[in-house]
Structure 1
Amino acid sequence: MRNRVSFALSDLAISGLLNRPKRGLYLPTRRGQELSKEYGINITRTLIHNEPAYKKYKQEKSNQKKNRQKRENKDLAESQVKEWFNQQDEKTQDELLNHLVKMNPYKFENLMVQLLSVMGYKGDEGQALVTQKSNDHGIDGIINQDPLGLQKVYLQVKRYAPDNSVQMPEITAFSGSIKLKHADRGVFITTSTFTQGAINAAKDLNITLVNGEMLTNLMIQYQVGVEVKEHYMTYKIDGNMF
């Protein structure tokens, strides 16, 4: 009963038939007095809901609901689009990794050197090159970051199957090759992963590691070995123009 009374009082207030000057106090408005004189105790829910103030209130509530639904639908649509793009990226990464594993070793080395160059390791006037197939002493590529080659980044790459992780001895051997060049840093790239021992050694020996997942992400980001299939754009209103 209390809920019914509460809803009735609320409807009367929304319709402009009652005023609530303070909590628990209800006073009839002029319009409320007019209806009371005309209908007495026969005032119905239909009469109350036909009042202009009540109709205006319901219309505003309806508009708010529609706007909220529009925002929710927009957010849902955007999330669905983002999810679709993420799925496409993951598919491209899987295909890309499969191609990398099957590549000619020398072409793979060239591609990795190209990637680092596009990423900006080469600098504005530097030079990037792949070492000779033999006698490279564990160095697959060299990035000269300045015209004179005073700053160098040494690169080693491994086309390993996903289940063949790079081990710590390979990292330490690469570090030894770098030190023979009187350098102190390098980049080790693999199509697979690194063991925890290899990761720990790389941190101590100042070697940057790039595993298969990171590699394909970088290649897509810098568009090396891939090309744009479709380009989609979404727009919003520029409020500064109006």
Structure 2
Amino acid sequence: MPIPTYQALMLPLLRYLADGEQQRLRDLIDHLAQEFSLTVEERRQLLPSGQQPIFDNRVGWARTYLKKAVLLESPRRGWVQITERGRDVLAQKPERITTDFLKQFEEFRTFIAHSSTTTVTNDVMPSDNTGSPEELLEQAYETLKQNLLAELLEQVKEASAAFFERLVVELLVRMGYGGSFQEAARTIGRSGDEGIDGIIKEDRLGFDVVYVQAKRWGQTVGRPEVEKFAGALQGQRARKGVFITTSTFTEEARQYVEKIDSKIVLVDGERLAELMFEHNVGVSTVTSYPVKRIDNDFFLEE
């Protein structure tokens, strides 16, 4: 039989987790392959990039979309478990779970709106498929990127405090601050006085410094925390600071930094993931698809 689409895999995947036990993604893939009676050859078929089996990729997308709809959750890295909402969905005895079915959940609608498209993985095309092939390619890229950013932030939140400190150092160095990693590590990642976590050179020659505070928080960072940081900067007669968190900032906190003399940049979890993506921290390129056009100048004849 043909390899099932990721949408055809959603309901069987959810049913397999109905007992509420935590399951490894690897075991899920093996179970679903047996359920759909896939041959060894079918399981070995690779994506055009040659980097991953097609079936594994589709199970991964099924899991991702179910997680975005909060029917599944990841209690730990590489494992999945059904949620209370997932049990409620199974109790309805749906004949099939698709992306249209998942749109009844606000979290999934938010995810779709944020990525500005529906995935073009497998045989599913965007609802507006009148765009050019290049437009569809860009839409697919944006979907993959938004999914990666969400997974990246989730990994950061699950990491230890010590790992988060190293991550911040690595990111700032990749962005051009602090000179070398060794130099930056000597001045950041250590708890400082008056609420300042570290100091890093703004440029490689050290003409100016930037004070850094990094918090691996789950709760929203409000104005009081930012005010403390601003006060610490004033106590050091500093002009620049960056406040990094894995969560979000309140609107009051953002409005506050726009009114004060010190220049403070607020980096929330989503922005942190974007910067990591942009500067290749915690991510790697699997493959690339160069888009080429005819070189008309080559065909000019004198």
Residue of structure 2 equivalent to 1:175:
230
Q: Does the 8 Å CA contact 2:165/2:189 hold for their aligned counterparts?
A: no
1:137 matched to 2:194? The reply is yes
| Structure 1 CA distance for aligned equivalents of residues 279 and 189 of structure 2 | 26
Match of 2:244 in 1: 189
Contact 1:142 1:152 in 2 (8 A): yes
User: 1:34-73: CA deviations, max 9, x gaps?
Assistant: xxxxxxxxxxxxxxxxxxxxxxxxxxxxxxxxxxxxxxx9
Which 4+ runs in 1 deviate beyond 4 A?
132-136
Given candidates 107, 110, 114, the residue that maps to 2:163 is 107
What letter corresponds to residue 79 of structure 1 in structure 2? E
Q: Which amino acid in the other structure matches residue 232 of structure 1?
A: Y
> Does the CA contact (< 8 Å) of 1:113 and 1:141 recur in 2?
no
Structure showing greater Rg: 1
Deviation (angstroms), 1:138: 2.0
2:150 to 86, 89, 94: 94
Where does residue 276 of structure 2 map in the other structure? Answer: 219
Distance in 2 between the 1:110 and 1:134 partners?
13
1:184-220 deviation digits (Å, cap 9, x = unpaired):
1101111111111100111123211111111111111
| Distance in 2, Cα, partners of 1:148 & 1:238 | 44
* C-alpha distance in 2 between matches for 1:240 and 1:75: 27
Query: Does the C-alpha gap of structure 1 residues 241 and 136 become closer, same or farther in structure 2, counting only changes over 3 Å?
Result: farther
| Matched residue type, 1:108 | F
2:285 counterpart letter in structure 1? V
* Structure 1, unpaired ranges of 5+: 1-72
TM-score, length of structure 1 as denominator length: 0.62
- Of residues 116, 124, 138, the one that matches 1:82 is 138
C-alpha separation in 2, matches of 1:134 and 1:121: 19
TM-score, with structure 2 as normaliser: 0.50
Percent pairwise identity = 38
In 1, Cα distance between the equivalents of 2:137 and 2:205?
Answer: 48
Change (3 A) 1:148 1:238: closer
Could you say which structure has the higher helix fraction? Answer: 1
SS in 2 for 1:235: coil
Distance 1:224 1:132 in 2: 17
Unaligned runs of 5+ in 2: 1-128
Instruction: Give 3-state SS (helix, strand or coil) of 1:83's partner.
Output: helix
> What CA distance in whole angstroms lies between the structure 2 residues aligned with 1:131 and 1:215?
17
How many matched pairs?
168
Contact 2:244 2:267 in 1 (8 A): yes
- Matching residue within 211, 222, 228 for 1:154: 211
Secondary structure, aligned partner of 1:137? helix
Tell me by how many angstroms 1:180 deviates: 2.3
| Residue 119 to residue 81, structure 1, CA distance change in 2 (3 Å) | same
Question: In the TM superposition, what whole-angstrom CA distance separates every residue of 1:95-119 from its partner, at most 9, and x where no partner exists?
Answer: 1111111111122122112212211
- Counterparts of 1:148 and 1:80, CA distance in 2: 45
CA offsets 1:3-37 (integer angstroms, 9 cap, x no match): xxxxxxxxxxxxxxxxxxxxxxxxxxxxxxxxxxx
Instruction: Please report how far the alpha carbon of residue 148 of structure 1 lies from its aligned counterpart in structure 2 after TM superposition.
Output: 6.3
